[in-house]
Chain A
Amino acid sequence: MHLPEYYEFCCTVKTVAGHDVLESIPELLSKMNSKKTMIITDKGVELAGLVKIVTDAISENIEIGAIESDVPPDSDVRVVNNLSKIYVKNGCDSIIAVGGGSVLDTAKGVNIIVSENSDDLMKFTGAGALKRKLRPLVAVPTTSGTGSEVTSVAVIADPERNKKMAFSSLYLLPDIAVLDSRMTLTLPDFLTSQTAMDALTHAAEAYTCLSKNPVSDIHAINAIKLITENLLNVIKNPTDKEGRLALATAANIAGMSFSNSMVGMVHTLGHSIGAVCHVPHGTCMSILLPYGLEYNMHKTGEYTGELLYPLAGDKVYSKTPKSKRPEKAIEYIRDLNQKLCDATDGRHPVCLKDVLDRDGNMMVPEDKLPEIAKTALGDGSIFYNPEELDFDDILKVLKFAWSGEKLDRSLWIHKNSFKNQESL
């Protein structure tokens, strides 16, 4: 086990999980002196009837000051500003965020503005800009992927600059995370698969990147185990409540893990593809994860090999020689992606050129790859990747991920460190 000379781990979020736990929200909010709450959600969640399930569960015991569903697929600074005005105007004193990553990130952005009494979210970008506790925030995830309900970061797009702005502070951790199996029962198969692969990526990068530590490792391993034991079953049987709760729990603990160990190049590239081409985050993660593990293998192959145990189980792990485990783990992830692609009739793409929008148009044209690579150089997660990444490195990896070919690591052999097996 890797025991760094120094590490930190913090998760102050109270997690409440089960099959009917929404009903406990009013009591939890009253303990934080909240009397009037605002629900932030998106149109898809509202149309799926999930907001009604939440309001039915809580409205008898707490006043709901506003229900706003104007959150776009990518959190947007303009929406954050608008929702903050509604929060203040309606005299709300807490937020319940019901949705996926963009809803939770939007709610975090709103909470910054209303708690800091500011009108400019951009003043709080980066790490450490927040200096005090924010107002009560309850997170009710409706996907099992982002782990935003237990993370201290938010990513919000700034359309004027075509960039995703990152916010990082322990004060961004929600107060309560409510994992209720009713919230993910109607999630379509392709979203279930992509968001679960997002959680798997959180866990895999937390386990293999520079800030790994024994506490985050335990969370990562358990998250991977829960995902691989349940994901394909849930895709085949979407109403499997136990399986849904297992995936929600996996996303939750993977979130705890990566929020403390941070993530590496899979997220560096994924954030940039999202910013430039607006590809859903989970799609980017599922495609890029094998490439990130391959690229870093000369430095973190030992850790990647250890992932084979939670990915494939004890029999496969024990039968595979130690030197072959890293490749086997990556092969397992590629196989899982292919099975998910087949099970969702191709709606879980396995390479970037196959990512299509609703009209069937390619979302990542090959000529966009240089722009994506340039954007990636400004993503903070690049700091945590074990191996250095420059523009050319990123572009090469993107080309492989675009075509779907395995990474040809011999292309990097001229660069010193690819010959070395030394670890940082």
Chain B
Amino acid sequence: MGNFATLQPGGRPLVRFYLAFMLWFVGRAIQAAALVDPNVRKEFNDLPDDFSFSLGAAFNGPQMAIGKDSNGKVKYLGKNSNIVPQVKITIKSMEALFLLFTFRESTPVANSRERMTVEGNLSHACACVRILDIVQVYLLPKPIAKLAIKRYPKWSLKKHTINRLLINLRAIIGF
């Protein structure tokens, strides 16, 4: 009795790496989309100054945060931000976030299955989800994006080509 190894939470380093990479890329893409896409810019303009939100997995899973400064500039704040976000979207486990980021479960279905919790002002959280939906359409090919959101939008050719290219480029080079 009493002679047993303590099991530490964690593990699955490849999953953790994949999720951290996806969050990093989505975070930088949101920063880029705020410059390129008028709808994303409008969503951020309607949010209060110094607003920030985070997205990540519970139990020390990977995280990312996005902030808007007092000049209205949207910035990706990284994975270990010290700020306390006004809206915190937490996926209940790394496995649930993995389902989401491998597009086996759409955001609305994940939400309906109680896989995420939202802390903070709900109307601001709604704006964050709309921003995430738009950015997913920019980042993903249409067949995959259709799995991630409720309705694939009808966009102009410019949005589908030039804006998409700009956002992906800016997300890669971080500018």
Contacts and interface: CB of A to CB of B under 8 A. Distances in A.
Interface of A: 4-8, 125-129, 163, 165-166, 209-211, 262, 377-380, 382-384, 386-388, 414-417, 424
A125 B122 contact: yes
Contact of A388 (B120, B121, B151): B151
B150 A388 contact: yes
Contact of B119 (A129, A166, A209, A382): A129
Contact of B118 (A5, A128, A210, A382): A128
B107 to A, nearest CB: 9
Secondary structure dominating the interface of B: mixed
B121 A7 contact: no
Contacts of B125: 126, 380
Interface stretch (B1-9, B109-117, B157-165): B109-117
A418 to B, nearest CB: 9
B114 A8 contact: yes
A417 B149 CA distance: 11
B24 to A, nearest CB: 25
Given A7-B114, A126-B122, A417-B152, 14 more contacts: A6-B115, A7-B113, A126-B120, A127-B118, A128-B118, A166-B122, A210-B109, A377-B127, A384-B111, A386-B150, A387-B150, A387-B151, A388-B149, A424-B108
Contact of B122 (A209, A380, A386, A387): A380
Given A5-B113, A414-B154, A382 B121 contact: no
A424 B149 CA distance: 9
Given A8-B114, A378-B127, A388-B149, A126 B108 contact: no
A387 B151 CA distance: 7
Interface of B: 87, 106, 108-109, 111-115, 117-127, 129-130, 149-152, 154
Given A126-B119, A128-B117, A387-B151, A382 B112 contact: no
Given A127-B118, A128-B119, A424 B127 contact: no
A175 to B, nearest CB: 23
Contacts of B109: 210, 424
Contacts of B120: 125-126
8 contacts: A5-B113, A126-B87, A126-B119, A127-B117, A165-B121, A377-B126, A378-B122, A424-B108
B126 A383 contact: yes
B149 A378 contact: no
Contacts of A7: 113-114
A183 B115 CA distance: 39
Contacts of A382: 126
Nearest to B107: A383
8 interchain residue pairs of minimum CB distance: A378-B123, A210-B112, A388-B151, A388-B150, A380-B122, A211-B112, A6-B113, A417-B151
Contacts of B111: 210, 383-384
A378 to B, nearest CB: 3
A222 to B, nearest CB: 22
Nearest to B39: A390
Nearest to B117: A128
A8 B121 CA distance: 24
A379 B123 contact: yes
A386 B115 CA distance: 17
Given A383-B126, A424-B108, A6 B150 contact: no
Contacts of A166: 122
A128 B90 CA distance: 11
Contacts of A414: 154
Nearest to B151: A388
Nearest to B150: A388
A269 B123 CA distance: 14
Contacts of B124: 378
A4 B119 contact: no
A14 to B, nearest CB: 24
A254 to B, nearest CB: 19
Given A126-B125, A379-B123, A380-B126, A416 B154 contact: yes
A126 B118 contact: yes
Nearest to B123: A378
B38 to A, nearest CB: 14
Nearest to B87: A126
B126 A379 contact: yes
A58 to B, nearest CB: 36
B153 to A, nearest CB: 8
Contacts of A386: 150
A161 to B, nearest CB: 10
B90 to A, nearest CB: 8
A128 B88 CA distance: 10
Contacts of A378: 122-124, 126-127
Contacts of B121: 125-126, 165
A77 to B, nearest CB: 14
Nearest to A383: B111
A282 to B, nearest CB: 22
Nearest to B86: A126
Given A125-B121, A128-B117, A378-B126, A384 B150 contact: no
Contact of B113 (A4, A128, A163, A377): A4
Given A126-B118, A388-B151, A210 B108 contact: yes
Nearest to A163: B123
Contacts of A6: 113-115
A417 B117 contact: no
A25 to B, nearest CB: 33
Contacts of A127: 117-119, 122
